[in-house]
Structure 1
């Protein structure tokens, strides 16, 4: 099997055409190859120019813009960090005050409870004394009523 050229596809001549390619045909083919070579050279030259433009102008501009934006972002980040620190400190102080108030309130309730429990024996004694006097009055009252009833039941 004949080997084909990588850039030019050669057609097989029909069986009835056994003549060699003409000089004009070969010239045109050579001219086409030269033209294609020039086109590829222009494309490569354009690529080279684009790469030079990018490395000499675009990249430094992007680097400068990125650096200035980075400084701005870092400043904003620092400001946000400071704000968060202040908020955390305020929250800590608020919690500490709340806990201190809670502890003080608990101590006050404990003292009130202890005072209440100390008063209980005295109050119990007062209530017992009132109860005894009330019971004595009731006893007298019922005794008096019994006597009165006894007077009326003799009739």
Structure 2
């Protein structure tokens, strides 16, 4: 058992600040009497309990909390890594989709451009054909109106 030095054991004295472990003077002891001595013993028990509680906390509670925290952090880090992987895959799929869409858009635009160029090459021929058809229609109408005028002039003699 550790040697008692005043009210506080040596093991407790090493862990407590100096003002808590100072040995009371003889004059103080004589003045205070037995009641003060009992209070000193109660305070010593409280300090011993406090020391034991601190030791228990340092030796058991803190390591348990640290282990729990580390295991929780590992779990959180694994979840975070899984979430990052999922997001990365989604981003890659989105990039592929956009690339396919853009490629399709570019191909469609090229096809439309080729169709437009073909249309513009054929346009003079179509215009000539329409103009020819129009010329024939105008000629037929002229003939038809000329014939109608002849017929009308026959009836105008009445």
Task: Compute the TM-score of the two structures, normalised by the length of structure 2.
Answer: 0.76
Aligned twin of 1:112: 115
Aligned twin of 1:153: 156
Aligned twin of 1:18: none
1:107: how far off?
0.6
* Pairwise CA RMSD: 1.6
- Whether 1:70 and 2:73 are equivalent positions in the alignment is yes
- Whether 1:92 and 2:95 are equivalent positions in the alignment is yes
User: Which structure 1 residue ranges, 5 or more long, are not aligned?
Assistant: 1-26
CA distance in 2, matches of 1:85, 1:39: 64
CA distance in 2, matches of 1:80, 1:69: 16
CA distance in 1, matches of 2:109, 2:141: 45
Please identify which structure carries the higher helix content: 2
CA distance in 1, matches of 2:71, 2:156: 118
For residue 125 of structure 2, the aligned residue among 113, 122, 127 is 122
Task: Compute the TM-score of the two structures, normalised by the length of structure 1.
Answer: 0.77
For residue 136 of structure 1, the aligned residue among 121, 133, 139 is 139
Find runs of 4+ consecutive structure 1 residues off by over 6 angstroms. Answer: none
User: Which structure 2 residue ranges, 5 or more long, are not aligned?
Assistant: 1-29
For residue 40 of structure 2, the aligned residue among 26, 37, 41 is 37
How many residues align structurally? 129
Larger radius of gyration: 1
**Bigger relative contact order, structure 1 or 2, given CA contacts below 8 A and separation 6+?**
2
**Cα deviation code 1:113-133 (max 9, x no counterpart):** 111111111111111101110
Aligned twin of 1:3: none
**Cα deviation code 1:66-92 (max 9, x no counterpart):** 222222222222211211111111111
